[in-house]
Structure 1
Amino acid sequence: MNKLCMAAGLAMALLTSCSKNSEDTQVTPAPTETSVTGNVEGIWKKGNTYKVTGHLQVPEGKSLTIEEGVTVLMSDSIVKPEILIRGNLYSLGTAENPVKFTVPDAWKTSANLFGNLWGGLIAGPASTELVLKNTILEYGGAVTTEESPSVKAQLYKAAAGEHVPVLYTSNTASKVVVTNSIIRNFNEDGFYLEGGKVLITNNTFHTTGVSGGEAINIKSGVQAEIAFNLIYSPNTNALKLSNGGDKTPQAYVIAYNNTIVNAGWRRPTIKGGSIWLEKTVRADVYNTLLVNDRFGIKRDKGAPEDTRSVIANNYYYGYTQTGVDQFQPSTEIVKGTNDILGTKAGDNDPKLVNYPLSTASLNATYSTSWDFHLQAGSPALGKGKTDFTRLYKSGLSVNGVTYTSPEPASYIGAFGTK
């Protein structure tokens, strides 16, 4: 009897072991490609490709969650799809496996450097939550037609002939988070925001705007924090901050520890060239590193910013005398408290780890070899302001996750030393 019991026990152990080993060695299904058009909702699964063959819409009251490593492939060259978000969108990539909104590789030519190959993300008035986390958005900004979903829904500029931005919002009660993402190769504006509690942190913007357009364009109805972003060569301004429109609350933006390089030079006409303030926007701007931009922080003299605005501890460098002359204080160019600026070309070299300060002002081609961290001994170290109030220090809760604004740094710019 004892031998029988021992044999039975051994058999059970072997069965259990085999079962466990079988589970441990299960193979993850290979990525699949699925064609999508029309209404979309639910979950787009990790690592898969979703081939977009027409305009998409997330219906009101519904949500679309995009898991890490998903490729959203805009493959209709005739329609040039827009994504109309009437509900909620959560794009949840990781640093190792970002989500990509992109086009076929064969379309990524020098002729298409500024995209124009698909539309953008258009959030309607019923959209309440939107997250872009570790997400790459590229080669969009197509021009609208009478058949565009944004035109039919009377969103964005609600007219044919307008280039769609990367992201548009319209609901003042919405919550929007964009973090650790890359926005590149778009035809005009990056973000055009007309509503929401907004947190934009740790992103890179480059190669945006052919003949106009800002990286981030904010209107009334927005309360935003913009921090630790690198913005390279936007056509006009990195930040256009305005209380234009008739929405409440008043536009209030706290921008800090951003690095803005080569802004504004490619615009055919003169209008700003780093940060633009207008129409009673309330703007607090701290710790900005401005390198070779066309102008300093500039206001609309006829419709200036709210008098409660605070500008402080910003750092200017100009490789050319023209650039230096155009960030000197005037009735249009704002000089803040403790701002650092020289009067001669080459004054106040910020000592970036790897960026040729002589790079042509009209250059829009971004090199991944560049490194905008500060070298040890940089005069931008230890000059930042940290004792100011933030909007989202306690966090912005979206889809059950709390996103907090990052602590301001004691250095100036988006990156300290390595």
Structure 2
Amino acid sequence: MKFKQIIIGAALVIMGATGCKKANSDVDPDTGNGTVTGEISGVWQKGSTQVIKGDIIVPEGKSLIIEEGVTVLMDTVAKPEIIIKGNLYVQGTAELPVRFTVDPAFRTDAKKFGKLWGGILAAPSCSELLLDHAIIEYGGSTTSDASTSVKQGLYKAIAGENLPALWFSNVKGKLVVTNSIFRNMQEDCTYIDGGRVLFANNTFYTTGLTGGEAINLKSGCVADVAYNLIYSANTNALKLSNAGDRTPQAYVIAYNNTMVNTGWRRPTAKGGSIWVEATVRVEVYNNMFVNTRFGVKRDTKKPEDSRSLFSNNYYYGYDQTTVNQFQPSADIIGGTNDVIGKKAGDNDPKFANFPLDNPVSSPNFNTAWDFHLNAGSPALAKGKTNFTRNHAAGMEMNGTVYKSPEPSTYIGAFGTK
């Protein structure tokens, strides 16, 4: 049931063991606008602005619902963390997304890789987390001994770590991230340590100052990753790993994603497009790689599960060096029915609007670019559709069922208009 007003710290709970402050707010009851620190649950109302002056915590057993059009404005001095011990439901719309951001004065080119607030950190007690039509930007600050996440043993629980935009850690929980944008982050956009997971129809760009992935999945994850656009992630677009020894074994089906210019700002050879390791079980279909540093790449010392499948993926390189790094080898995985050429410029995908000679080292993203396929694209009618997704039946989140989208006969995240 949805509440009609924000409920903040209703019981003046003192978190003696964790040092958590009680909730503090100054809220307009008609708009829901407020200044917030401490414990929080209930509803942030449609169109309101929530000014986050310090770390906030959704307590275990409680939920926070953020309605469409809410702006969550993070203080750049306090650099708050959003810690979810209960549940979080972010329910924006295409017209009115929910935006986690900072004051416009700080949204500058000098701050393009964020570091201005922490991230959304979901403790193992968080059973459900939904981001639907959210924008998450300018985060990824570095932890210190004083960070709440360090004190409470969350994420990596040590000082000096660059926080991801989103961390989720309940192997029995549910995580759905859809129709959302991650941008201007210092390092990883997402770091997922387990759960039933769906990433679909998202966009990632201008992320990773010196490292980091767009989607980083570890053991305990049973995930579908589909129809995402990932531009210029510093290291990999997707890092798929069974590291962590959690049950169940990581099993990821990644299909119909478009990856462009990924891995080129990574100073070592590990960066690229999709990295698989440590007995992760994967199925990789219908993905488009354009000017990415490598094709799908394995850790030869800790390879993927032998049941993994790769097919119907598409490669384009503007220069010969890029094309050479797509070619199958001991560490570059070739798939069945892949579309992969030998010469620079082979397999032009015929994007609606994207300069294929765009500098691959540039993290700058032009929102006017259009990665739909023009008629006559060789990526049309090359996709695989006869496979089963992990979450085809869907997962219910706060009254709505979110299903993994059907695969397409085209390759990449976008067909023709």
**TM-score by structure 1 length?**
0.92
* Correspondence for 2:63: 63
Tell me the secondary structure at the aligned position of residue 65 of structure 1.
Answer: strand
CA distance in structure 2 between the partners assigned to 1:370 and 1:101 by the alignment: 23
Within-5 A mapping of 1:183-332: 183-332=182-331
String of CA shifts for 1:308-347, please: whole Å, max 9, x gaps: 0010100000001000000100000000000110011000
- Give the C-alpha shift of residue 371 in structure 1: 0.2
Within-5 A mapping of 1:2-17: none
Q: Which has the larger radius of gyration?
A: 1
String of CA shifts for 1:176-225, please: whole Å, max 9, x gaps: 00100000000000110001100110000001100000001111001000
* Correspondence for 2:7: none
CA distance in structure 2 between the partners assigned to 1:384 and 1:43 by the alignment: 42
Kept after mapping to 1: 8 A contact 2:316/2:346 = yes
* Correspondence for 2:34: 34
String of CA shifts for 1:250-269, please: whole Å, max 9, x gaps: 00000100000000000122
Within-5 A mapping of 1:11-410: 31=31, 33-75=33-75, 77-410=76-409
CA distance in structure 1 between the partners assigned to 2:35 and 2:78 by the alignment: 15
Kept after mapping to 1: 8 A contact 2:291/2:317 = yes
CA distance in structure 1 between the partners assigned to 2:149 and 2:220 by the alignment: 19
- Give the C-alpha shift of residue 147 in structure 1: 1.5
Sequence identity, in percent?
62
String of CA shifts for 1:73-98, please: whole Å, max 9, x gaps: 002x2220000100000000000000
Kept after mapping to 1: 8 A contact 2:234/2:271 = no
CA distance in structure 1 between the partners assigned to 2:107 and 2:66 by the alignment: 23
CA distance in structure 2 between the partners assigned to 1:185 and 1:215 by the alignment: 11
Tell me the secondary structure at the aligned position of residue 183 of structure 1.
Answer: strand
AA aligned to 1:112 is K
String of CA shifts for 1:339-370, please: whole Å, max 9, x gaps: 11001100010100000000001010110110
Tell me the secondary structure at the aligned position of residue 234 of structure 1.
Answer: coil
* Correspondence for 2:25: none
Tell me the secondary structure at the aligned position of residue 52 of structure 2.
Answer: strand
Which 4+ stretches in 1 moved above 6 angstroms? none
Listed as ranges, the gaps of 5+ residues in structure 2 are 1-28
AA aligned to 1:156 is Y
Q: 1:144 to 1:279 in 2, by over 3 A?
A: same
AA aligned to 1:346 is G
- Give the C-alpha shift of residue 66 in structure 1: 0.2
CA distance in structure 1 between the partners assigned to 2:172 and 2:33 by the alignment: 36
CA distance in structure 2 between the partners assigned to 1:356 and 1:123 by the alignment: 39
String of CA shifts for 1:23-61, please: whole Å, max 9, x gaps: xxxxxx985631000101000000000000000100000
CA distance in structure 2 between the partners assigned to 1:400 and 1:143 by the alignment: 36
Tell me the secondary structure at the aligned position of residue 333 of structure 2.
Answer: coil
AA aligned to 2:42 is G
* Correspondence for 2:4: none
AA aligned to 1:289 is M
CA distance in structure 1 between the partners assigned to 2:167 and 2:230 by the alignment: 18
Tell me the secondary structure at the aligned position of residue 414 of structure 1.
Answer: coil
- Give the C-alpha shift of residue 71 in structure 1: 0.2
CA distance in structure 1 between the partners assigned to 2:358 and 2:395 by the alignment: 39
Larger proportion of helix = 1
AA aligned to 1:202 is N
- Give the C-alpha shift of residue 157 in structure 1: 1.0
CA distance in structure 1 between the partners assigned to 2:33 and 2:46 by the alignment: 12
Tell me the secondary structure at the aligned position of residue 106 of structure 1.
Answer: helix
- Give the C-alpha shift of residue 272 in structure 1: 3.0
AA aligned to 2:61 is G
CA distance in structure 2 between the partners assigned to 1:272 and 1:338 by the alignment: 24
CA distance in structure 2 between the partners assigned to 1:254 and 1:380 by the alignment: 20
AA aligned to 1:314 is N
- Give the C-alpha shift of residue 154 in structure 1: 1.1
CA distance in structure 1 between the partners assigned to 2:113 and 2:90 by the alignment: 23
AA aligned to 2:163 is V
String of CA shifts for 1:364-402, please: whole Å, max 9, x gaps: 011011000000010000000000011111111222221
**TM-score by structure 2 length?**
0.92
CA distance in structure 1 between the partners assigned to 2:256 and 2:332 by the alignment: 20
CA distance in structure 2 between the partners assigned to 1:153 and 1:305 by the alignment: 33
* Correspondence for 2:23: none
CA distance in structure 1 between the partners assigned to 2:55 and 2:154 by the alignment: 15
Kept after mapping to 1: 8 A contact 2:81/2:148 = yes
Q: Which moved more, 1:150-159 or 1:310-319?
A: 150-159
